[in-house]
Chains A and B, each alone.
Chain A
């Protein structure tokens, strides 16, 4: 069942069109990977899925993006509410300058959740992010004391704490070493039982390892202006994309012939 559907989506930054004509369905409890060379608009598309692109001056979206059948760019829709339901993990771990505990409790507090026991909620989020055992004795210490990989798992726990339906991940492992990357990938496998995950990655092996479905993007130069615009080339199951792609460009990219 599809949770997010984009239909003929273009994303612009002012006059610059970053990505065009994207139509894809993101299925529930699956990991969907967006791959492609730099500048192909995959991060831009990801950020428009929870309206984080609204924060960029001059950014706007045409076409439709629906979440559970509802247009998230509709006139009555509050971007804040969209972000509560569709969480995001960023490229660089970005814990708040607060204690580990307060990092997790931040989300539930701001959105007005009234958990009967905040301690339990914090423990649950940290456990689900596979971080509890490492931090349970230092919850009051600054989150900056954690390693990069731990910080990123903390950010995932923070995202989980507000119980979103979808988690968007923007190259979550690009700042991490292979061991930390492996732990995050294992974690994603666990999390997809309860969440729908969309991940942007530069690492094709990562997409092949974790994703159920993969969308391949590339950038095409405009004949008249020379600006490069991202397009969706092919979207299919990961096995199909990596073993038997139907588009030559996908095959060239997968096999390392360009990008």
Chain B
């Protein structure tokens, strides 16, 4: 009799133990699976699980928004994602309208933006990081200002360019050169900052190794430091350019939003870009133009994703182990 009771109790104990074990297992599973490789077998208290849950939730929310955005745009625009969109000029009848000048305009403006910004931004970053004397007050002021400029709203750069072009006596401000100038100003601080970051991540020992061989500071820069920093600079610059690609505000200030029915053909040519074209079409009353805008958005998204993919490929390919 007594033995029976004991057995029962044992069973019960076993059961609750099993349950506890199972719970523990699940907890461990969640924790170790999610922080795999970092803190394996570490903390599995209730607190850390809640924390992890919050992290997952944040990720889920961000991801959900992105997916929603892409899916709804695709649903809205896929009917007009055809050859006409790429090959045709804008027209008053939506079924015949396309974004050809906008696509070409976007590419041209971004191309010139890259041409203006990269040499200037990289050179400035190299000077600030490798050659300037950080103890001097004026260099510190420059540094601080570059940081602040990176956070200035894009429309301010549009206004600045507008003012500059007016001062230079340019009447027609809706030209490729103007747009590229505004976007260059916009992303120049970003390019300077990513250049500095990339150079800073090159260990000092690499520079010393080169200098100790009798290389000059310039040789050290061009043969050692800068090549080692190229992946970082390229990745950051591409991300900056893709930001410029999606900008509409500074270009609108410069008088964009004109009905462009020709291909841009140079720095002084009129132009429109994809964001401006999309903005234009969404403002039309006809439903068909809204579909067209969605289709152009898909195109823009595709371009942006492609640029970011290139950035990722460069980063992975040239990633250095120190």
Assuming the contacts A94-B203, A96-B224, asked whether A83 and B219 have C-beta atoms less than 8 A apart, the reply is no
Name, among B205, B212, B322, the residue most crowded by chain A CB atoms within 10 Å (CB to CB): B212
Interface contact B209-A94, CB-CB below 8 Å: yes
A4 at the interface (CB under 8 A from B): no
Interface contact A158-B213, CB-CB below 8 Å: yes
Hey, what's the 0/1 contact readout for B188-229 against A, CB within 8 Å counting as 1?
Answer: 000000000000000101101111111110010001100110
- Partner of B228 from the list A55, A88, A97, A107 (CB cut-off 8 Å) is A97
Interface contact A155-B209, CB-CB below 8 Å: yes
Assuming the contacts A57-B135, A110-B223, asked whether A80 and B216 have C-beta atoms less than 8 A apart, the reply is yes
Hey, what's the 0/1 contact readout for A63-84 against B, CB within 8 Å counting as 1?
Answer: 0000000000000000011011
Instruction: Output the least CB separation between A6 and chain B (Å).
Output: 19
Interface contact A83-B208, CB-CB below 8 Å: no
State the total of A-B contacts with C-beta under 8 angstroms: 70
Q: Which residues of B contact A (CB under 8 A)?
A: 135, 203, 205-206, 208-216, 219, 223-224, 227-228, 320-322
Interface contact B213-A107, CB-CB below 8 Å: yes
Count chain A residues whose beta carbon lies closer than 8 angstroms to a beta carbon of B.
27
Q: Which residues of A contact B (CB under 8 A)?
A: 50, 52, 55, 57, 80-81, 83-85, 87-88, 90, 92, 94-97, 106-107, 109-111, 144, 155, 158-159, 162
Q: Which residue of chain B is the closest to A92 with respect to CB atoms?
A: B205
**Bound state CA distance, A24 and B206, in angstroms?**
31
Interface contact A50-B210, CB-CB below 8 Å: no
Interface contact A162-B213, CB-CB below 8 Å: yes
What 8 pairs between A and B have smallest CB-CB spacing? A84-B214, A94-B205, A107-B213, A88-B212, A110-B215, A94-B209, A83-B214, A110-B219
Main secondary structure of the interface of A (DSSP, over half): helix
**Bound state CA distance, A84 and B135, in angstroms?**
30
Interface contact A50-B212, CB-CB below 8 Å: yes
Instruction: Output the least CB separation between A42 and chain B (Å).
Output: 18
**Bound state CA distance, A50 and B320, in angstroms?**
29
Instruction: Output the least CB separation between A8 and chain B (Å).
Output: 26
Interface contact B214-A96, CB-CB below 8 Å: no
- Partner of A106 from the list B203, B208, B213 (CB cut-off 8 Å) is B213
**Bound state CA distance, A106 and B225, in angstroms?**
13
- Partner of A83 from the list B211, B223, B320 (CB cut-off 8 Å) is B211
- Partner of A94 from the list B208, B215, B216, B321 (CB cut-off 8 Å) is B208
**Bound state CA distance, A162 and B206, in angstroms?**
17
Name, among A50, A80, A110, the residue most crowded by chain B CB atoms within 10 Å (CB to CB): A110
Assuming the contacts A57-B135, A97-B228, A144-B321, asked whether A87 and B223 have C-beta atoms less than 8 A apart, the reply is no
Instruction: Output the least CB separation between A196 and chain B (Å).
Output: 16
